[in-house]
Chain A
C-alpha cells in the first residue's frame, strides 16, 4: 500500500506540475518540462485524472483500514508536547535511530497526521476543481473555485515537503528501509517478549 501510494504520489505531483504550468498561480513560478509528467497539459491532465482513481481508492482503503483496526489511534495518538520537544532536541543532536520501529516518536506522529490531513484536503479540493458545478457545495466550503485551486496547490507544497523530509530521514535511519520494503518490521513472537503486539 505504501509503494502504490509512493508511485501514485509521484504521478499526481509531477502531472499536477504540468497542469499548473499552463496557468500559474505564483507569477513567474514554472516547474519546467524536466519535472513534468506528460509532455504538455493535455497529457499531464490525463495522467492526473487517471492517477486520481489510484490515489482515491488506495487512500480510502488506507483510511478505512487505519480507522477500523484502530491502527491510527494506536500509532498516531497520543501526542505529548513534552515528547515532541524531546524528539526535536534529539533529532537536532542527530540521535534519530528508531529503537522500536513499531512505535512512532512524537514528531513522526505529528508529521504523519499532517500529511494524512493534507491528502484528504487534496482529494476534496481536487474534487472541487474537477467538478465545481456538480460539487458546488464543496467549492463554497473552500471559499470559491480559485481559492480551492490555491489550497490544492498549497496541499501539494505540504506533501512535497513531507516527502523530502520522510525520504531523507528514512535514508539516515537505514533499518527502516528494510521494514518499508518488506512490509513491516519483524516482530518477536509473543512468548519471547511476553506481550502479544500485532500491528
Chain B
C-alpha cells in the first residue's frame, strides 16, 4: 500500500543529484559541530569520574550553604501532616547501615540514657523514668533520602519536654545522639524543640520491637529518615558541630523535609 505521506507526483530526482555534494558537506559540518558541543557537555559531567578533591569540596560547600537555607526554610510552628491510626504500617520498615539479622538487641533492664554537655541535671535515665514523663502520640510519614516512605505511629516523650526537664541550654545550636549500634547523629535545636520531635518508646501502641530501636529512639517528623537514630544511649547538648554517621560520608547534615 502506498504511504499516506507519499506525494502523488514524484519529485524530480535530478534536483537531489544536483545538490548532493552540498547536502553531504552540510551534514558533515553539522555532525562535527554537534559532536564537539555534545562532547564538551559530557566532559562537564565526566569530571566526576575520579571525584577530584576540588569538585567534592565545592559540592560540600554548597551543601553547607543549603543547610543554612534549610534552617531558614524551617518553620518551627509548621506541623507535618498526620494520618489516622488505621494507616500505620505494621511492622514498620527496617532500615540501618546493616541488615536486620545483624541487629543486636539492647537489654532494657540494664539500659541507661546518659546525658552530657550543656545540661544541668546529668543523671542517667532508665526506661521507667522516661515512661513517667508526659507521653504523647503522633502518626506521621517517614521519608527516606532514598525516596521510599511509610506511615508510622509513635508514642513517647517530646524531646522539648525532656530537654526542659533536664535543664538543657535551649540556646545551644546542636543536640547530638549516640546509639548502641554506633550511629552518631545530631539535629539543630529548632528541630529538637519542634512539637513533632520525640523520644519514642512505642510503635503502634506497643513497646518498640528490637529492630526498630528498643528501648528508645528519636523520631522527628521534619527530617529525613537517616536523622532518626535508634537504640539511643546518650544525648549531648553542645555548641560544637557534632556531624553524624551518613554526614561524614557526604550526605547533607540538616536533612529537613
Contact = CB atoms under 8 A, between A and B. Distances in A.
A181 B73 CA distance: 38
Interface string A1-42: 000001100110010000110110100000000000111011
A23 B148 contact: yes
A22 B60 contact: no
Contacts of A181: 33, 37
Contact of B147 (A7, A22, A49, A177): A22
Contact of B145 (A6, A45, A149): A45
A91 B112 CA distance: 74
A146 interface: yes
A151 interface: no
A145 B143 contact: yes
A55 to B, nearest CB: 13
A171 to B, nearest CB: 4
B5 A92 contact: yes
A43 B51 contact: yes
Interface stretch (B115-123, B169-177, B247-255): B247-255
Interface string A125-142: 000001111101000000
Interface residues of A, number: 43
Interface string B17-58: 000000000110111011001100110110011010000101
A46 B250 contact: yes
Contact of A49 (B44, B66, B256): B66
B8 to A, nearest CB: 13
A116 interface: no
Contacts of A73: none
B221 interface: yes
A131 B29 contact: no
Interface in B64-117: 66, 70, 73-75, 78, 80-81
A93 B5 contact: yes
Contacts of A167: 34, 38
A46 B48 contact: no
Contacts of B45: 10-11, 14, 37
Given A46-B60, A133-B221, A174 B78 contact: no
B197 to A, nearest CB: 12
A20 B148 CA distance: 11
A43 B50 CA distance: 12
Given A43-B250, A132-B257, A133-B78, A145 B30 contact: no
B30 A173 contact: yes
A134 B221 CA distance: 11
B62 A134 contact: no
A41 B250 CA distance: 9
B158 to A, nearest CB: 17
Nearest to B80: A133
B133 interface: no
Interface of B: 5, 7, 26-27, 29-31, 33-34, 37-38, 41-42, 44-45, 48-49, 51, 56, 58-60, 62-63, 66, 70, 73-75, 78, 80-81, 141, 143-149, 221-222, 246, 249-252, 256-257
7 smallest beta-carbon distances between A and B, as pairs: A174-B30, A42-B250, A23-B146, A23-B147, A50-B62, A171-B34, A46-B59
Given A22-B145, A39-B49, A131-B256, 11 more contacts: A10-B45, A11-B44, A22-B147, A42-B246, A43-B250, A45-B145, A46-B252, A92-B5, A133-B78, A146-B149, A178-B33
